[in-house]
Amino acid sequence: MLAVSMGHADDILVIVASGCVSREDVESYLIPAIETKLQDHASIRLWYEFTSEFEGISVGALWDDAVLGLFHFSDFSRAVMLVNDVRMNTMVATLACMLPCPVKVFAIHENLPAKVWLDQSPPN
């Protein structure tokens, strides 16, 4: 399941993943949220958080995520991914490779360093 979290800077999209993420989640939540943010911003920053309840992601959702990266190749300026379980680092690092912008993976308890990194200017 994907959820969009509100109450952040206008150009930051916060996505929280829990349970099993499906293709429908990507199509119903992630894509519309990205497209809504891009109506007001040339590029957006992404905060992608995997809760302790995260169980996995379907192949269809992975495919849609990869296609999404192609369509929005230059629309992300920076992204952080937060994981709760060290064993998920490989999966998250693989997802991070699909994004065409600087991406950094943090442990879930590293919210402050993640925010600081996300707020930095992208490299020139």
pLDDT by residue (tens digit) across 25-82?
Answer: 988 998 899 999 999 999 999 999 999 899 888 888 877 777 776 666 678 899 898 9
Structure-block tokens of residue 88: 């998920």
Residues of the chain above pLDDT 90, percent: 44
**pLDDT cut 70: percent of the chain above it:** 85
Q: For the chain, where are the E strands, in sequence order? A: 2-5, 12-21, 44-57, 76-83, 103-107
Paired with 107 in beta bridges are: 83
**pTM listed for this prediction:** 0.84
Contact of 54 with 19, CB cutoff 8 Å:
yes
pLDDT of residue 114: 95
CA distance 9 to 13: 8
